[in-house]
Structure 1
Amino acid sequence: MAKNTSPLTSIELFTGAGGLALATHMAGFKHAGLFEWNADACDTLRANAEAKAVPGLHGWKGRVSQGDVSHVAFREFEGVDLVAGGPPCQPFSLGGKHGGMEDRRDMIPQFIRAVRETKPRAFIMENVRGLARKSFATYLEYSKLQLTYPEIIRKSAESWECHLRRLQQHHTSSPRQDGLAYNVLFSEVRNAADYGVPQCRERIFIVGFRSDVNANWAFPAPTHSQERLLHDQWVTGAYWERAGIKRPKIPSNMLRKVEQLSKGNASAQLPWKTIREAVSDLPSPFADRNHRGDVFNHRFQPGAKPYVGHTGSPFDAPSKTLKAGGHGVPGGENMIAFPDGSYRYLTVREAARVQTFPDSWHFKGAWGEAMRQLGNAVPVDLVRVVADSVARTLGQSRTKACTPHTTSTSSKRSRSS
């Protein structure tokens, strides 16, 4: 059988400023549609498409759809290889109101609907670590089972608890997979810093492959570690040598840890990446403009100061998790704490570096709105690891496939019984 060389295709829900969409694009997926409701985020996507901020974006501009995804008919995209997205996380965020399954902002059902209507070969769903908390364990199982059997839909007036029981019964008693079904894999909480992102940002991923796809997939292993960073900083001093600065005195609260590290072998993994390493080659923030030369979104934002619960991110460690804030106003996580005791807010460009967006990617909107887009984004480099592995799996499956996927006549109807 000849190898299928046509590009992998995808649609992207809850695209935001484009972190996940960029990662899947770089992994080789051609986007047939990008869906986002926020006007500034849509402006960011269109502007970067028009400017060809990264190769191959010429088709994005006309594919950005602004609006509520609940009004989108996804059936026109049936046959894409991938559905990807990070449904709004406020219902499950540790910093939110924890409404979960009763929260009207829960968009996971819309992601499930997109899978049901498009029947992709695979999907990638990203979300906050709060979804993995014990209090949401039942809802997480419910979401995974709906993604496993997306055509077994919730009946009119049926509670989600009753729907869950029906899905569980089907999962444990059905001798065969009748109709559209997926093999769903769930990642434990993953820290972006463990994959080379200069930010401690914990996320979970739910990845699925259609049952006819010959997939032997597992979440990629971490490549970086905190232990190696601390070893390079306080045992060998290699970190400070790389930075070209004098090695500081070991902090008193690190003495015992350093003693332990010095007795063992250094981790074979790479060291965590720090804010210093991510931003040190940038010029000082601009006082009177957003852009200069090929440096974009780098205006100085005044007013940074520490207080209880607002202590900033140490310069020689990965950033704390960037937050969007209830009104687009950054919290202490969006502020750098320098070794000399001074503080300032990250510029938009520095925050983009922390989220591993390319420097060519421009962010539209005022500073607070741009920071909101970044606080809501997923690190490009973290998702790139996932997207690359999914793309490889789908590519390998293509070469092994003998017949295309078909859905039986009886299963083309959404099954409600």
Structure 2
Amino acid sequence: MSSRCGRAPAPRSRRRSSCGDRSGRESSRESPRRGIPRPSDALDIVRQQPRSSYVLEGSPMGNNSAAPLTSIDLFAGCGGLSLGFHRAGWRGVFAVERDPMAFETLKANLVGPEAPYRAYEHWPEWLDQKPLDVDEVLGDPEIRARLMGLRDQVDLIAGGPPCQGFSVGGSRNGLDERNEMVQRQLEFVELVRPRAVIVENVEGIARAFRSRPGEEGAKSVAHQVVLELDRLGYDAKFGVADTSRFGVPQVRRRALIVGIRRDLGVTADRFFDNLEAARPRLLEQLGLDPERPVTAGEALSDLTTDERVPSPDSPKFESSPYLAPRSTYARLMRRGSSRSVPDSHRYSKHGERVQALYDLAHATQPKGRLSKEFLLSNGTKKDKKVLIDETQPVSTITTHPDEFIHYAEARNVTVREMARLQSFPDDFEFKGRYTINGPRRRFDVARCSQVGNAVPPHFAEAVGMAMAATLAEAGD
């Protein structure tokens, strides 16, 4: 779900998109062309074990002997939501992501045979493991038939459609074509009819767009999605959560639109109750203090040293080796990593003007968001730069690493530091270019955008725990 905010969707048509051309891009596995499949062929991966009950006790999923719940991740990005659900015990059916760089990260960490987190071990043979656009998937008659074959057999469809048109940090454009992508997720829901639905997005999706003077105010997109889910047979509600309450060193408010199929006899309100109940159990499992948030200093202190070495994947740039972990959070992030130099911890090369600005900010400005007066008087037109306060969680991480100045050094944060602030573990390695500037940022998803657009995995794990508990109340 991670790469969705900074790029435009492909035009909706029968034509193959440039990111997922089924004939022009080599797939990692052969997918022979088939006739229209029998619906039963699509059910193999979800019929391997009988369904049983799930409780939120002890481990995230409670009963470890139970058959895993199954989920589909749309607009998956680099895989923050998929990683969290995997850790909560869910089994991924498949994920859809159109950007090649984001999909490369997703595949390396969650799909491929050497992935450290095998969330998609049972990826169906009929869907190529390659970048695919949601419109492309829905426009393929064979794949639509396969999706119909999954009807009533999948527990959850989750997704984070592109958010630029909703974001209060962006243009808040109600006519942005990317806003239509939430309708594609609902089209998936109508085909598959999962037991539950989650639409995750920026808080702005729950705010109505302004209408012209004299007109009645429009409903928010979240409200419209709730009405559409109601039409499709789901009890639906939306709410907003702060990820800093779930072991993420970042104040990041995220909207969750949740639908539970009515025949299950459970209301969507129960999900939000269970999310709150999951919080202390998650933090206990992670070894984190439930009484206070993780701070930026706790997240980053072992990545900060004066020593410089060549960046392993960019020898013309510098990086730094690890220091000994100084916090529970840092030790948690480093589990499974055997590197001496962190992945994606490449330092930016600042020009003289930018370096002078950062040096001056360190010398004269209080920690926190720098004032517009300071920025304008020092020759920058950017209206957001934050001098990180190491004693607090950071404000919302975006796709722009140059919005955050490190608290101990006069420089941008690195992609790995952004990932730490999002709760990605250090053995989750990012692929593709580090940054992209100019018009291509709307279409291509570099590492910084993959991280900035992602659902924080710790928060996603709590969401997975809460949905498991909610569906446990439904029975078979």
TM-score, shorter chain, exceeding 0.5: yes
1:286 Cα deviation from its structure 2 partner: 5.2
**C-alpha spacing 1:129/1:2, structure 2 compared with 1 (3 Å):** closer
Q: Quick check: 1:128–1:203 contact (8 Å CA) kept in 2?
A: yes
Q: Quick check: 1:287–1:300 contact (8 Å CA) kept in 2?
A: no
1:116 Cα deviation from its structure 2 partner: 0.7
* Pair 1:380-2:457 in alignment: yes
Q: Quick check: 2:207–2:220 contact (8 Å CA) kept in 1?
A: no
1:71 Cα deviation from its structure 2 partner: 2.3
Q: Give the secondary-structure state (helix, strand or coil) at the position aligned to 1:281.
A: helix
* Residue aligning to 1:6: 67
* Pair 1:147-2:229 in alignment: yes
**Which amino acid letter does the alignment assign opposite residue 458 of structure 2?**
D
Q: How do 1:21-32 residues align onto structure 2 when only pairs under 5 Å count?
A: 21-32=82-93
1:302 Cα deviation from its structure 2 partner: 3.1
C-alpha separation in 2, matches of 1:297 and 1:138: 38
**Which amino acid letter does the alignment assign opposite residue 185 of structure 1?**
K
Residue by residue over 1:116-172, the C-alpha shift from the partner in whole angstroms, topping out at 9 and shown as x without a partner, is: 11100011110101112243634332211101213xxxxxxxxxxxxxxxxxxxxxx
* Residue aligning to 1:274: 295
C-alpha separation in 2, matches of 1:272 and 1:359: 20
1:350 Cα deviation from its structure 2 partner: 1.5
* Residue aligning to 1:184: 236
Q: How do 1:386-397 residues align onto structure 2 when only pairs under 5 Å count?
A: 386-397=463-474
**Which amino acid letter does the alignment assign opposite residue 149 of structure 1?**
R
1:283 Cα deviation from its structure 2 partner: 5.8
1:272 Cα deviation from its structure 2 partner: 1.4
Counterpart selection for 1:362 from 410, 425, 429 = 429
Q: How do 1:62-81 residues align onto structure 2 when only pairs under 5 Å count?
A: 64-72=129-137, 73=144, 74-78=147-151, 79-81=153-155
**Which amino acid letter does the alignment assign opposite residue 17 of structure 1?**
C
Q: How do 1:252-291 residues align onto structure 2 when only pairs under 5 Å count?
A: 269-282=290-303, 284=305, 287-290=309-312
**Which amino acid letter does the alignment assign opposite residue 297 of structure 1?**
S
Q: How do 1:8-407 residues align onto structure 2 when only pairs under 5 Å count?
A: 8-48=69-109, 49-50=111-112, 51-54=114-117, 58-59=121-122, 64-72=129-137, 73=144, 74-78=147-151, 79-100=153-174, 102-106=175-179, 107-135=181-209, 137-150=219-232, 181-187=233-239, 189-215=240-266, 217-219=270-272, 220-221=275-276, 269-282=290-303, 284=305, 287-290=309-312, 293-294=338-339, 295-303=342-350, 305=358, 308=375, 309=383, 310-324=385-399, 329-332=400-403, 334-338=404-408, 342-368=409-435, 369-397=446-474, 400-401=475-476
**C-alpha spacing 1:80/1:344, structure 2 compared with 1 (3 Å):** same
**C-alpha spacing 1:76/1:70, structure 2 compared with 1 (3 Å):** farther
**Which amino acid letter does the alignment assign opposite residue 392 of structure 2?**
A
Identity %: 34
Q: Give the secondary-structure state (helix, strand or coil) at the position aligned to 1:105.
A: helix
Q: Which runs of 5+ in 1 are unaligned?
A: 151-180, 225-267, 402-417
Q: Quick check: 2:206–2:221 contact (8 Å CA) kept in 1?
A: no
Q: Which runs of 5+ in 2 are unaligned?
A: 1-49, 54-65, 138-143, 210-217, 281-288, 314-320, 322-337, 362-373, 376-382, 436-445
* Residue aligning to 2:5: none
**C-alpha spacing 1:300/1:331, structure 2 compared with 1 (3 Å):** closer
Q: Quick check: 2:107–2:115 contact (8 Å CA) kept in 1?
A: no
**C-alpha spacing 1:3/1:98, structure 2 compared with 1 (3 Å):** closer
C-alpha separation in 2, matches of 1:269 and 1:360: 25
1:27 Cα deviation from its structure 2 partner: 1.8
Q: Quick check: 2:94–2:120 contact (8 Å CA) kept in 1?
A: no
1:345 Cα deviation from its structure 2 partner: 1.8
**Which amino acid letter does the alignment assign opposite residue 26 of structure 1?**
R
Q: Quick check: 1:196–1:381 contact (8 Å CA) kept in 2?
A: yes
**C-alpha spacing 1:126/1:322, structure 2 compared with 1 (3 Å):** same
Q: Quick check: 2:202–2:254 contact (8 Å CA) kept in 1?
A: yes
**Which amino acid letter does the alignment assign opposite residue 401 of structure 2?**
P
Q: Give the secondary-structure state (helix, strand or coil) at the position aligned to 2:406.
A: strand
Q: Quick check: 1:34–1:65 contact (8 Å CA) kept in 2?
A: no
C-alpha separation in 2, matches of 1:7 and 1:221: 22
RMSD across aligned C-alpha pairs, in angstroms?
2.7
Q: Give the secondary-structure state (helix, strand or coil) at the position aligned to 2:178.
A: coil
Q: Quick check: 2:401–2:414 contact (8 Å CA) kept in 1?
A: no
Give the number of equivalent residue pairs: 316
C-alpha separation in 1, matches of 2:460 and 2:119: 18
**C-alpha spacing 1:214/1:343, structure 2 compared with 1 (3 Å):** farther
C-alpha separation in 2, matches of 1:133 and 1:11: 27
C-alpha separation in 1, matches of 2:345 and 2:200: 29
* Residue aligning to 2:215: none
**C-alpha spacing 1:35/1:76, structure 2 compared with 1 (3 Å):** farther
Q: Give the secondary-structure state (helix, strand or coil) at the position aligned to 1:123.
A: strand
